[in-house]
Structure formats: C-alpha cells, structure tokens
C-alpha cells in the first residue's frame, strides 16, 4: 500500500459540478466544458501512488491543477468524484475532530509566500505547530531551536520575518513545517518566488535534510529543471489530467506525449541525468589475481582491460598492454599492484562529470560508490546514446 493513493479523482469548479461530471468522465475537453457550462475542470481522472519516503514532484504549467491536486491530500478540497487514501484511511471518512488532528499531526505545508506570522519571532513561528498541539513552552523552544539550527538560521531566533531575506524566510517556513515531525510534507511552489541562486541553495537544503529525514515530500513546481533535480518521481499534469508519472530518466528518455516532449526538449541531459542511469556491470572483474592469472583471464575473455576489486574495494583498472610491458618482471606479483586508480565517477554524479575521464582513457569509466565499491562502468557509447537528443519539433511555446 502506497502512503498516498489517489484514485480517479475529478474536481469540477462551478455551481453544479455533478451536472457536468459525466462530460468530464467521457473525456471531453476542458475548454469545451468551460465554454458550454461555465464549469472549470480542475482535475480529470487523476490516479497515482505516492510512496513513503520519496520526493514526489507534481509539475505542470500554471492552471494545470497542481495546487488543486495536493489540496485534496489534506482535504482542503473535496473531490467531485474519486478517492484519496492516506495510510489506508479514506480522507473523506474523517469527521471534523479527526480531520483537525490529521492535518495537525500527519502533514505540514510549506507555501510559496512563506505564510509566516509577521508579529512573531522566528522562534515563535517555528514553534507554532507545537504550540497548537499544546506542547509546553520549554519543550517547544528546544525543538524549535533544533530546527532553526538544521535550516542554518542559528542566531536569528529573535528576529521577525520582515527582518529576513526571502530565502531566510522560507528557511523559517521549512523549519516550522518540520518542527511537528509530520510524516508528509506538502510544498506548493515553495521555492518559486526565490531568486535562482537562493532557490538552488534551498533545493540543496531540502535534499540534504531528506537524506536524514526520509519524509514523504510532495513538491509542486512549474519548473522542469527543479523537478528533475529534486524529484525521485515526477508527475506531469496538463489541463487537470496526468500526462506521465515516472523517474527523471523516464521523463527525459521516454516522454509519454508531445506535451512532455516539448517540456524536456531543451534539457541538458548530461547535467540532468546521473551516471547510474547508464552504468552497466563491468566486463571483467578481477579480484585476487597475479599478473599471469590476470593476463590469462583477459585473453580468454577477449578483453583489453579489467577492473580490480580487493576486500570489496575498488583498486583500479589494469590493461593487458601494461601487463605485457612488464614482460615477466618478477618484482610485481599481483595485478592490483599495477592497477590505475586515477579515473572513477560516483553513481549519483551527473553524466557530465564522467566526460573528462572518458576523454582521457580508452576504457569504460569505473563507477565507484561512497563505500569504495565498484558498482558499474560507463562506456562512451552509452553516454553518446543518452546524450544524443533527437530534435523535437513541437512546443517551444511551453518553455518559460
Ligand atoms: N476555487 C476555484 N474556483 C474556480 N476555479 C478554480 C478554483 N481553483 C482552481 N480553479 C481552476 O482549476 C484549474 C487548476 O488550478 P490550480 O490547481 O490552481 O492550478 P496550478 O496550481 O497548477 O496553477 C485552473 O483552471 C483554475 O482556474
Ligand atoms: Mg498552484
């Protein structure tokens, strides 16, 4: 069971939403329905699963239904048809008291315009959710201080929002949302009002916090670069309907329709995709071989190079040529003694980062994780096949 399950949601805005539901369910166009009936189709047959601990991005142009969708999750909006369950509970079944508790404990929201209380200090703003929960002052100040620290605002506890820059105010917004330790964080264009550099800092902060917190984050943006940067998965909305749900690699490499294709057309894939998308298992892995054994294995496998690991740790590349040059020199016994450790990349590094190494050597570049283990290799051919972008011919007008 996914943490949030959305099933066949329709949301129609207007006086008599039920009266036009059938037309929307028959797949009639949003513009036609509006022209005929004065009703706006906010969401049309949206179904998706959001898994615990993922950053799930909802992306689409202005008016595509992003805010309408996440307002269903904490029932700020009721659907015209369909179901939303959060951890197995259909949110429509919650009574008033349950709903208040559900909103207070389960989810927090971070808004584009920060939504801070102007006459309260940073400390009071961050501790606000705990205050509502009735947590005593000393306890909530302790918690608030921790979160103020985590978002890099130590020293600003007694400042007022108006004394802070936009980026700092949004750090307060984030700290406030996290202070009640909610399982789900809803972020509606939370970074969209910030200048590009500040915005990029906030993305870094969110990603850094997420490596420790593993919250379920539902993040709305109209910016594809932001979506690709922070999303584990991305849902793309168009006129209230889902065009595609997938990983950044799915979206970039297999766009589902012309709308998505237009969005991804100009993305620099070398920067947006990480090495792990294109890596494959090493052709020849050597572990504890002498020079002679390594040469024999390479000749047998028809490989010019091998990747040496020892004690579960990557030790470098050996080439057949280098070993042949030793010419039976008895001083060097083990293949790992002549392995070259110079070139390797990290699986979470953008493909771009592997290019310099790929230009330097003529073997596929080893991919080594934080623990020092060899997890794969990337070849020039694999890089080229992903980076070669066929020219899409539509949709320039969709870019901002
Ligand atoms: N309260 C409302 N009353 C009428 N129409 C609305 C209301 N809220 C949203 N809409 C319409 O629903 C569609 C989706 O809006 P919204 O979810 O705000 O889009 P987004 O967040 O992607 O910009 C738009 O056409 C918008 O005009
Ligand atoms: Mg919106």
As a whole number of Å, the CA-based R_g of the chain is 26
Predicted confidence at residue 399, as pLDDT, reads: 44
Residues of the chain with pLDDT under 70: 389-400
Q: Are residues 68 and 170 in the same domain?
A: yes
Predicted confidence at residue 138, as pLDDT, reads: 96
Tokens standing for residue 126: 């961050």
Report how far residue 238's alpha carbon sits from residue 246's, in angstroms, rounded to the nearest whole number. 15
Report how far residue 209's alpha carbon sits from residue 193's, in angstroms, rounded to the nearest whole number. 21
Contact between 43 and 68 (Cβ < 8 Å)? yes
Q: Which ligand is nearest to the CA of 188?
A: 2
Q: Which residue is closest in CA terms to ligand 1's atom 7?
A: 13
Q: Which of 225, 256, 274 is the last residue of a domain?
A: 274
125 three-state secondary structure: helix
Q: Are residues 35 and 73 in the same domain?
A: yes
Q: Are residues 266 and 301 in the same domain?
A: no
Is residue 397 in a domain?
A: no
Nearest Cα residue to 170 out of 125, 235, 128, 221: 125
CATH number at residue 178: 3.40.50.300
Q: Are residues 337 and 247 in the same domain?
A: no
Alpha-carbon distance values, 304 to 228, 267, 292, 314, 363 (Å): 37, 36, 14, 18, 8
Is residue 390 in a domain?
A: no
Predicted confidence at residue 111, as pLDDT, reads: 87
Report how far residue 341's alpha carbon sits from residue 309's, in angstroms, rounded to the nearest whole number. 11
Q: Which of 229, 247, 274 is the last residue of a domain?
A: 274
Contact between 347 and 276 (Cβ < 8 Å)? yes
Report how far residue 249's alpha carbon sits from residue 272's, in angstroms, rounded to the nearest whole number. 9
Is residue 219 in a domain?
A: yes
Tokens standing for residue 6: 């959305």
CATH number at residue 307: 3.10.580.10
Model confidence, pTM: 0.87
Q: Are residues 233 and 295 in the same domain?
A: no
The phi, psi pair for 35, rounded to 5°, reads -60, -40
Domain that includes residue 319, residue range = 277-385
The ligand 1 site (C-beta within 6 Å) comprises: 13, 40, 42, 60, 62-68
- State how far Cα 92 lies from the chain centre: 29
Q: Are residues 216 and 305 in the same domain?
A: no
Q: Are residues 257 and 282 in the same domain?
A: no
DSSP 364: P
Q: Which ligand is nearest to the CA of 187?
A: 2
Domain count, the chain: 2
Is residue 394 in a domain?
A: no
Q: What is the dihedral of CA 243, 39, 70, 190, to 10 degrees?
A: 90
Is residue 392 in a domain?
A: no
Q: Which atom of ligand 1 is nearest to the CA of 64?
A: 22
Contact between 213 and 150 (Cβ < 8 Å)? no
Tokens standing for residue 335: 């293949």
Nearest Cα residue to 47 out of 260, 261, 244: 244
Q: Are residues 202 and 328 in the same domain?
A: no
Q: How far is the CA of 121 from the centre of ligand 2 (A)?
A: 28
Q: Which of 222, 253, 274 is the last residue of a domain?
A: 274
Report how far residue 173's alpha carbon sits from residue 158's, in angstroms, rounded to the nearest whole number. 15
Q: Are residues 204 and 309 in the same domain?
A: no
Q: Are residues 260 and 362 in the same domain?
A: no
Q: Are residues 187 and 239 in the same domain?
A: yes
């Amino acid at each position: 069971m996914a943490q949030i399950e959305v099933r066949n949601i329709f949301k129609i805005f207007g006086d008599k939403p039920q009266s036009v539901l059938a037309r929307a369910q028959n797949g009639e166009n949003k513009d036609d329905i509006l022209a005929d009936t004065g009703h706006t189709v906010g969401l049309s047959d949206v179904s998706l699963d959001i898994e615990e601990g993922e950053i799930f991005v909802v992306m689409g142009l202005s008016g595509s239904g992003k805010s309408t969708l996440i307002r269903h999750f904490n029932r700020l909006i009721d659907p015209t048809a369909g179901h939303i369950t959060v951890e197995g509970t259909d949110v429509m079944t919650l009574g008033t008291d349950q709903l208040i508790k559900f909103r207070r404990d389960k989810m927090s929201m971070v808004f584009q315009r920060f939504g801070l209380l102007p006459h309260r200090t940073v400390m009071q703003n961050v501790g606000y959710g705990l205050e509502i929960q009735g947590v005593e002052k000393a306890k909530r100040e302790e918690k608030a201080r921790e979160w103020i620290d985590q978002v890099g605002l130590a020293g600003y506890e007694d400042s007022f929002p108006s004394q802070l820059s936009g980026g700092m105010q949004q750090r307060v917004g984030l700290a406030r949302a996290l202070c009640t330790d909610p399982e789900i964080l809803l972020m509606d264009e939370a970074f969209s009002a910030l200048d590009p550099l500040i915005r990029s800092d906030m993305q870094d902060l969110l990603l850094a916090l997420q490596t420790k917190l593993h919250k379920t984050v539902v993040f709305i943006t109209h910016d594809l670069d932001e979506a690709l940067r922070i999303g584990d998965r991305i849902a793309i909305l168009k006129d209230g309907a889902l065009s595609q749900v997938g990983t950044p690699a799915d979206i970039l490499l297999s766009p589902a329709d012309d709308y998505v294709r237009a969005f991804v057309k100009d993305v620099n894939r070398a920067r947006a995709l990480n090495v792990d998308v294109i890596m494959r298992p090493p052709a020849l892995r050597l572990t504890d071989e002498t020079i002679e054994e390594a040469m024999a294995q390479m000749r047998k496998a028809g490989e010019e190079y091998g990747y040496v690991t020892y004690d579960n740790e990557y030790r470098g590349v050996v080439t057949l040529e280098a070993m042949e040059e030793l010419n039976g020199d008895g001083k060097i016994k083990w293949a790992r003694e002549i392995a070259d450790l110079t070139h390797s990349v990290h699986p979470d590094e953008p493909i771009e980062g592997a290019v310099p190494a790929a230009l330097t050597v003529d073997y596929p570049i080893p991919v080594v994780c934080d623990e020092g283990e060899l997890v794969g290799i990337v070849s020039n051919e694999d890089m080229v096949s992903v980076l070669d972008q066929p020219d899409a011919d539509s949709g320039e007008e969709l870019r901002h």
